[in-house]
Structure 1
Amino acid sequence: MNKQELGAFLRSRRERLRPQDVGLPPGPRRRTPGLRREEVAVLAHISTEYYIRLEQGRAASRPSGDVLAGIAGALLLTDAESDHLHVLAGTAPNRVALHRRDVRPSILALLERLPQTAGFVVSATFEVLAWNDLTAALMEDFAALAPEDRNLARRAFLAPQHAGAPLYGISDAAEFRHHVVLQLRATLARYPADPAVTGLVDDLRGGSADFARLWERHDVQAAPTLTKSFRHPAVGEITVDCDTLALTDRDQHLVLYSAPLGSPSAEALALLSVLGPSAAPYHP
């Protein structure tokens, strides 16, 4: 059980709620935002003392599934937030200690069979592990980078363009950065002893005020990205459909960018597939 993270998460979810959100009268002016701890305890059908110990990271024992279900209901947690609560409390299925970076051979072969689709695989820490030539042409020539420089989280928050030009020319750079924070918080909960995960989060918190601000919100659920627009120096603006497939056996994701057949964006992708990695807008 990660007591400190569990307590911080509970506090962040409690402070976002108003009494009227859970059917309680507003009452007199409150000195702090959100519900009171005793109100959460009553709604969750547990003792106030035990809930306080949980939120302060002082609970001696791991909460049971029934207790967590009661707290999740009291705090109006979404399914994703409830799952995160169980991970922090140590009641989720056990995972390996380190996140995986090896990509299945079948996925590598699939990437090469997608000439009109930009496809790449990212790890649980947003490291780009595999990609096809169209991805390199659209985003960056990852083959020219050292493995430690292929991390999209570092690129989003620590690279020089974070203060100026949009990331890879994408239209939703701010939304992507928020998505990165949400996913990394969930990753840290799954791999609390993985030095690659903890080191990345420490570097981002220390090197980016934007990341640190978003991190303190304790959000864990993002809306899916259905489309994304790139402004590419060689072919202009490209709008693509975004599909992300979970590779659950290795805790990785296959990201696919495609465009409707016959559309201007599809024609632009076809041109980039001919130009190949030499057309990449970013080079080391």
Structure 2
Amino acid sequence: MIDRPALADFLRRRREQVRPADVGLRGGSRRRTPGLRREEVAQLAGISTDHYTRLEQARGSAPSASVVAAVARALQCDEDQRDHLFHLVGIEPPRRRGEPHVRPGLIRLAGLLGDVPVILFTDVGEVVWRNPLAAALMTDLPEEPGRARNVIWRWFTDPDGRIAPRDDWERLGAAHVSDLRATHARRAGDPDVSRLVADLLRVSEEFRELWQRHDVAVRRQDRKTFLHPRVGAVELRCEVLVSEAGDVRLLAYFPLEGTDAADRLDLLRVIGTQDLRIDAT
């Protein structure tokens, strides 16, 4: 059963402890209270401000497990704090091995790379954090947590939504599957991996054919072209930093040498950035 008063108190106190700079936001001199604003936590977690506000006011509907995990990431909770948050909501915390946890330090590191698109993925392909430039580059990615933010699921269930040139589809699809194969082998029996693979095998013939090849490779670098509706084709070199446990990846996209990608990113930064930095009023 959800402990609403304790949940509200924990969220409020934790929010006050997180500095805007810790999550890549401007602090500003006109903030009346320390820490983050409610709307900033909501935006970082990918939920509505109203939903988060109700949680801090000890009212409203109980949050789902995916929302609790997203709020814990936004508030930079460590694993113990995250588990406590789950207990307050009345939900069993995820198994630590089966549910990747993004350390606050990794989010802080990602936040320092503001000049290039940066994304944090779990090892099953779910986007758990991205900087404003990455949000502007991947315009088709919704804010709500869950399967809709899983790039592997979206790749094989919504081919029409792919934002890469058709000539790259075969290579990128094979890379998704071989990387997931490595995760499936390393985390054999973990429910989140097993469910994702089973669902993909059920709904995608393309995935089934690639899965049957038994290709295995953790993706550590790549080249990718993003077809953006406003700035056109952006050719990028992707460098992947894998966490020690292998359950979280930091992807940084750098302009490909010999292309105009840097100019296109500069243009995107001006006209298309979804800026999470909210000026005080």
User: Same fold per TM (> 0.5)?
Assistant: yes
Which of 179, 182, 192 aligns to 1:183? It is 179
Instruction: Give the aligned partner of residue 190 of structure 2.
Output: 194
Instruction: Give the aligned partner of residue 91 of structure 2.
Output: none
Matched, 1:154 2:150: no
TM-superposed CA distance for 1:132, in Å, is: 0.5
Q: Relative to 1, partners in 2 of residues 1:184 and 1:97: Cα closer, same or farther, differing over 3 Å?
A: farther
* Letter paired with 1:215: W
Contact 2:147/2:153 (<8 A) preserved: no
Instruction: Give the aligned partner of residue 211 of structure 1.
Output: 207
Matches of 2:179 and 2:258, distance apart in 1: 34
Matched, 1:169 2:164: yes
TM-superposed CA distance for 1:207, in Å, is: 0.4
Secondary structure of 2:210's aligned partner: helix
Contact 2:235/2:259 (<8 A) preserved: no
Matches of 2:219 and 2:242, distance apart in 1: 15
Secondary structure of 1:237's aligned partner: strand
Matches of 1:113 and 1:243, distance apart in 2: 15
Secondary structure of 2:250's aligned partner: strand
Q: Relative to 1, partners in 2 of residues 1:143 and 1:230: Cα closer, same or farther, differing over 3 Å?
A: closer
Moved more, 193-202 or 259-268: 259-268
TM-superposed CA distance for 1:100, in Å, is: 3.5
Matched, 1:122 2:160: no
Secondary structure of 1:117's aligned partner: coil
Matched, 1:137 2:133: no
TM-superposed CA distance for 1:224, in Å, is: 6.0
- 1:39-91 CA deviation, whole Å, 9 max, x = no partner? xxxxxxxxxxxxxxxxxxxxxxxxxxxxxxxxxxxxxxxxxxxxxxxxxxxxx
* Letter paired with 1:137: A
Instruction: Give the aligned partner of residue 44 of structure 2.
Output: none
Secondary structure of 1:144's aligned partner: coil
TM-superposed CA distance for 1:187, in Å, is: 1.2
Q: Relative to 1, partners in 2 of residues 1:124 and 1:223: Cα closer, same or farther, differing over 3 Å?
A: closer
Q: Relative to 1, partners in 2 of residues 1:248 and 1:100: Cα closer, same or farther, differing over 3 Å?
A: farther
Contact 1:169/1:232 (<8 A) preserved: no
RMSD of Structure 2 on Structure 1 (CA): 2.6
- 1:158-199 CA deviation, whole Å, 9 max, x = no partner? 12xx1x46x223452321111111111121112222111100
Q: Relative to 1, partners in 2 of residues 1:116 and 1:277: Cα closer, same or farther, differing over 3 Å?
A: same
Contact 1:205/1:211 (<8 A) preserved: yes
TM-superposed CA distance for 1:259, in Å, is: 1.3
Q: What are structure 1's unaligned runs of at least 5 residues? A: 1-95, 280-284
Q: What are structure 2's unaligned runs of at least 5 residues? A: 1-94, 276-281
- 1:114-139 CA deviation, whole Å, 9 max, x = no partner? 22211111111011111101111111
Contact 2:152/2:176 (<8 A) preserved: yes
Matches of 1:127 and 1:140, distance apart in 2: 16
Contact 1:133/1:276 (<8 A) preserved: no
Percent same amino acid at aligned positions? 33
Secondary structure of 1:126's aligned partner: coil
Aligned length: 180
Q: Relative to 1, partners in 2 of residues 1:133 and 1:278: Cα closer, same or farther, differing over 3 Å?
A: closer
Matches of 1:155 and 1:260, distance apart in 2: 25
TM-superposed CA distance for 1:222, in Å, is: 6.9
- 1:88-128 CA deviation, whole Å, 9 max, x = no partner? xxxxxxxx873333212122122222222111111110111
Instruction: Give the aligned partner of residue 98 of structure 2.
Output: 99
* Letter paired with 2:108: A
Contact 1:141/1:277 (<8 A) preserved: no
In our comparison, the structure showing a higher alpha carbon Rg is: 1
Contact 1:123/1:129 (<8 A) preserved: yes
Instruction: Give the aligned partner of residue 266 of structure 1.
Output: 262
Matched, 1:229 2:228: no
Secondary structure of 2:163's aligned partner: helix
